[in-house]
Amino acid sequence: MKGIVFTEFLEMVEKKFGYEMVDTIIEKSELESEGIYTAIGTYDHSEIVQLIIHLSSETNIDVETLIKEFGRYIFDAFLNNYPMFFDASPNALEFLKSIDSYIHVEVNKLYPDATLPSFATEIKDDGSMEMIYRSERKMSSLAFGLIERTLEYYDEEYTVSREFLNEDGSRVKFTISPA
């Protein structure tokens, strides 16, 4: 997993819960990196899982809520670091549709070792969109937060629902419907 995910996660923890919380969750985790991350580095996915589980334990906020809030948070880092992705899309659905065909292609050019989730999209006749998320990391809550924040960014009124297509959460269908 790319380091930007780790650096942004720890930044979010510091802003919302304080620097002491960052230290606490790093100390409670068994991290090969020892909690030292760079935005361009690559780290084992299990490290972010440990950090999130310990944050959940310390804050009494469930894991899925924390991951979803992190998705909303990291959106702004992506917006600041890669504004061209957002400028290329006139609306939220076009942006979401471009994730696999444009954004992830460009990300892989920058970071060839990145392992990204995949999103198959289909716009329906009723103006809704179905997105099928696939990832062995099973972090659809992160995608959920990113989708919600995307809709806010483009100032568009949609509702988002999520349906697990398999038990382990590696395949999830998001339905984004006009409000």
DSSP 102: I
pLDDT of residue 10: 98
pLDDT band at 102 (very low <50, low <70, confident <90, very high): confident
Domain CATH code at residue 160: 3.90.1520.10
Q: How far is CA 13 from CA 37, 44, 67, 73, in A?
A: 14, 19, 11, 10
* Last residue in a domain, options 26, 45, 61: 61
Residues 8-33: tens digit of each pLDDT: 999 999 999 999 999 999 999 999 99
Q: Are residues 101 and 159 in the same domain?
A: yes
Residues 58-98: tens digit of each pLDDT: 999 999 999 999 999 999 999 998 899 899 899 999 999 99
Q: Are residues 124 and 148 in the same domain?
A: yes
* Last residue in a domain, options 61, 84, 110: 61
Domain enclosing residue 35, as ranges:
3-61
Q: Are residues 14 and 34 in the same domain?
A: yes
Q: What is the pTM of this model?
A: 0.93
Q: Are residues 24 and 98 in the same domain?
A: no
Q: Are residues 154 and 95 in the same domain?
A: yes
DSSP 2: B
Percentage of the residues of the chain whose pLDDT score is greater than 70: 100
